[in-house]
């Protein structure tokens, strides 16, 4: 407002010095001042209209997608301008700023209101947190809350694999062929070795016929499977390639309101931990359709090891609002650290857990780690 006032006074001073008074020269000065008076409300109105139009367009597009889905048409991978725009944003810095904001301590009397508002917005269950709401000093602490005893009973069947997290099953199936491709969305897949790392411990894949139309990410040549078989022979011994085993995968998406601690899906030994410092694209249904290699590009922590049925790997993939992944078995691990340069092909930081070949024993249902904000 002060700026506009200055502008206006300069303008009228100039007008009077030129013509010896506003009215004499046709009242231009008074007309201009009226035009300026509309400048601010006009800009505000234009902004509101623009935001409204963008929101209406978003609603229309969502409606079209819903209609397609109801007609059983599976949505295909289709990059768009928004995805490219996200690519140039400093998402890691934005994520860290969000983390700093949510780590601010909230006055005790405000905490129930803030957490109830959060829970109402993101459909969290307020019956389950282990502590009274007043005990969580910040939104970040509330977000990574543990639950009351008995809230998550573990399926006792020894012949079953249980979910490591609360969430929505996005993809699942058996990995066939030599590349082990996981479908991100119809029309775009990524390979298991791109997700877990080129020297992952997977048993030697049978020589399979390449399928030309599959897009392999992160593999320079087909020999990467052989490098798999040669990597860290001591670790490899603990995983035997058996024809009686299939290789399966399951992708589970956690909503912001979900319980964000990660548990062990079975009794297994985590032999290796790999930390990929990566991007932090938002992870949601739209992003899986528009951002290429979303799970391979994003910051993630991979635990690899063995269970009684063979190979086991758990990849925890971060997102913009949930950029940190903590491991209770390795508390000193820090993710989403500031980095000067981020090279997409930067090798992951790897750690082999002691004793080599045995690693850390994790019981089925035990807490292994957590996602956190920022």
Binding site for other proteins (CB under 8 A): 152-155, 157, 159-175, 182, 192, 195-196, 202-203, 242-254, 259-263, 265-266, 283, 295, 307, 309-319, 322, 365, 371
139/315 with CB nearer other proteins: 315
Contact 360, 319 (CB under 8 A): no
139/262 with CB nearer other proteins: 262
Backbone φ, ψ for residue 273 (5° rounding): -120, 135
Please state the closest distance from residue 216 (CB atom) to other proteins, in A: 16
Contact 338, 96 (CB under 8 A): yes
15/362 with CB nearer other proteins: 362
Please state the closest distance from residue 324 (CB atom) to other proteins, in A: 10
77/307 with CB nearer other proteins: 307
Contact 14, 32 (CB under 8 A): no
Helix (H, G, I), strand (E, B) or coil at 119: helix
Please state the closest distance from residue 140 (CB atom) to other proteins, in A: 14
Please state the closest distance from residue 321 (CB atom) to other proteins, in A: 8
Please state the closest distance from residue 204 (CB atom) to other proteins, in A: 13
Considering only CA atoms, which of 169, 200, 168, 195 is closest in space to residue 181?
195
32/77 with CB nearer other proteins: 77
- DSSP summary character for residue 47: H
Please state the closest distance from residue 90 (CB atom) to other proteins, in A: 19
Nearest-angstrom CA–CA distance, 147 and 263: 12
152/358 with CB nearer other proteins: 152
Q: How far is residue 235 from each of residues 101, 205, 273, 311, measured CA to CA in Å?
A: 42, 16, 13, 11
Nearest-angstrom CA–CA distance, 322 and 163: 20
């Amino acid at each position: 407002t002060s700026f506009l006032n200055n502008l206006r006074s300069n303008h009228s001073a100039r007008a009077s010095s030129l013509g010896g008074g506003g009215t004499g020269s046709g009242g231009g000065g008074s007309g201009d001042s009226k035009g300026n008076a509309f400048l601010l409300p006009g800009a505000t109105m234009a902004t509101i209209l623009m935001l409204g139009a963008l929101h209406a367009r978003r609603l229309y597009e969502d409606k079209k997608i819903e209609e397609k889905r109801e007609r059983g048409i599976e949505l295909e991978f289709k990059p768009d301008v928004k995805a490219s725009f996200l690519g140039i944003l400093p998402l890691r810095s934005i994520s860290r700023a969000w983390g700093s904001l949510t780590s601010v301590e909230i006055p005790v009397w405000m905490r129930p209101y803030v957490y109830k508002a959060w829970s109402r917005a993101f459909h969290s269950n307020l019956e389950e947190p282990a502590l009274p709401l007043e005990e969580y000093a910040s939104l970040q602490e509330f977000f990574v809350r543990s639950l009351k005893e008995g809230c998550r009973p573990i399926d006792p069947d020894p012949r079953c694999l249980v979910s490591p997290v609360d969430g929505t099953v996005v993809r699942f199936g058996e990995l066939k062929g030599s590349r082990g491709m996981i479908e991100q969305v119809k029309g775009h897949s990524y390979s298991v070795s791109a997700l877990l790392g080129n020297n992952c411990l997977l048993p030697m894949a049978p020589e399979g016929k390449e399928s030309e139309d599959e897009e392999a990410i992160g593999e320079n040549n087909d020999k990467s499977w052989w490098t798999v078989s040669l990597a860290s022979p001591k670790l490899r011994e603990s995983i035997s390639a058996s024809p009686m085993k299939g290789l399966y995968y399951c992708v589970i998406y956690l909503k912001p309101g979900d319980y964000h601690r990660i548990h062990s899906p079975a009794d297994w030994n985590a032999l290796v931990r790999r930390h990929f410092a990566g991007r932090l694209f938002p992870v949601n249904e739209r992003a899986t359709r528009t951002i290429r290699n979303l799970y391979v590009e994003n910051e993630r922590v991979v635990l690899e090891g063995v269970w009684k049925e063979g190979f086991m790997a758990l990849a925890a993939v971060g997102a913009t609002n949930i950029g940190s992944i903590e491991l209770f078995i390795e508390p000193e691990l820090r993710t989403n650290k500031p980095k000067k340069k981020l090279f997409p092909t930067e090798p992951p930081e790897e750690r082999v857990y002691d004793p080599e070949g045995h690693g850390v024993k994790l019981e089925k249902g035990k807490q292994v780690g957590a996602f956190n904000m920022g």
